[in-house]
Amino acid sequence: MRDPTSFLRKEYLDLVSQDLDWKLHVLQGPSTPWCIVDGKKVLMLCSNNYLSLSNHPRLKKAAIEAIETYGAGSGSVRPIAGTMDLHKELESRLAKFKGVEASLVYQTGFAVNAGLIPQLAGNGDLIVSDELNHGSIIDGVRLSYADRAVYKHSDVMDLAKVLDDAERHSAEYRRILIITDGVFSMDGDVAPLDRIAKVAREHGAMLYVDDAHGEGVLGEGGRGIVSHFHLSSKDVQVEMGTFSKAFGVVGGHINGSKDLVDFAYNRSRTWLLSGSHPPAVVGACIAAIDVLETEPQHVRNLWANTLYFKKAMGDLGFDIGRSETPIIPIMVRRSDVAKELSARLYEAGVFALPIVFPMVAKDMARIRTIMNAALTTADLDFAIGAFERIGKKLAII
């Protein structure tokens, strides 16, 4: 009898043979600047925990208190019996922090994009997306019945051309939805959101920004890319974010008008049909907002570390691409060199992973480093020294 699952092993082994499979590394303890990975003490340079809040005492205390008050789980999905007053408090606090009418918390950032994008645009609509948008955006667009167009990365003139061509050669669309990442996760560059918003207004389009890597990093006190460009929800109708990176916990969210939130929680099946966050997660997310509002030193330290590391690496001759943020790619171009550099860094006590094809183009392999607010100057000098020694041995610099 034919095994209907035989393809699973075959396709996995095909990935292994091409060295394209993910080899999981195990973190043994909290996500801190120095941590234990696969049994070895290393300096963490590839975590999204930008502000080092995942191990912050106030977040841990809030999580424990939430469990003691509300229990371990919510018991249901949000629309039935899984909305606790704690969930509503988080959304109220988040909306105030972001300076918008309303916010809605999803289970993950991926759930936002997969669940909301197909509802915002469908038959008779057009979605226009940056060519380097995150995979969760791509999947959300694929789930929609809308027509689709792609514009060159962060190229506002090309965006305008795509919109002009669409309006000339297609029947009039009911709605046009422009979608862009705020900070692009592989290169660390920032979308020109102010100029994109101008084009959106000119074409009567709705603008959706995925600010997963801008939350807690850009803007006043870490309020994100909309704040960074001094825009509002009138300019950017859908501001998506996450608690899973700079906020140090887990979860996705949208921010904007009350109409947006009312629409989203009635139409997004990822929100409607997924269990709500357990109380510990919600309590920790509220505490993370508290920390950002009362401890501005974390964002300041993050940027100080970013500038220090970028200058030192640039002075050594490393190519750091087009980074404008704490995501700093060390461009080495060849996949084999990127993998060798990562392996030798790990041996030297620095944990920084290679990003290679197919995640990036074949000639764009890099080590993607991410700065952290809790890194000290001594930590950074340790990492810079390791990069310098190994970079010279591998003829990268």
Q: Residues with catalytic annotation?
A: 185, 213, 245
DSSP 176: E
8 Å CB contact between 91 and 101: no
Q: What backbone torsions phi and psi does residue 277 show, to the nearest 5 degrees? A: -60, 140
C-alpha to C-alpha distances, 244 to 37, 56, 188, 214, nearest whole angstrom: 20, 14, 17, 12
Amino acid at 343: A
Euclidean distance between CA atoms 377 and 155, whole angstroms: 36
8 Å CB contact between 284 and 89: no
C-alpha to C-alpha distances, 221 to 228, 248, 281, 308, 376, nearest whole angstrom: 10, 16, 22, 20, 21
Nearest to 184 by CA among 130, 145, 227, 234: 130
8 Å CB contact between 195 and 271: no
Q: Name the token pair of 92.
A: 């109220």
SS3 10: helix
- Kind plus residue range of the DSSP H or E element containing 328: strand 327-333
- Kind plus residue range of the DSSP H or E element containing 313: helix 297-316
3-state secondary structure 363-396: CCEEEEEECCCCCCHHHHHHHHHHHHHHHHHCCC
SS3 46: coil
8 Å CB contact between 387 and 330: yes
Nearest to 110 by CA among 326, 225, 268: 268
Euclidean distance between CA atoms 307 and 310, whole angstroms: 5
Euclidean distance between CA atoms 118 and 396, whole angstroms: 44
Half-sphere exposure of 10 toward its Cβ, with a 13 Å CA cutoff? 5
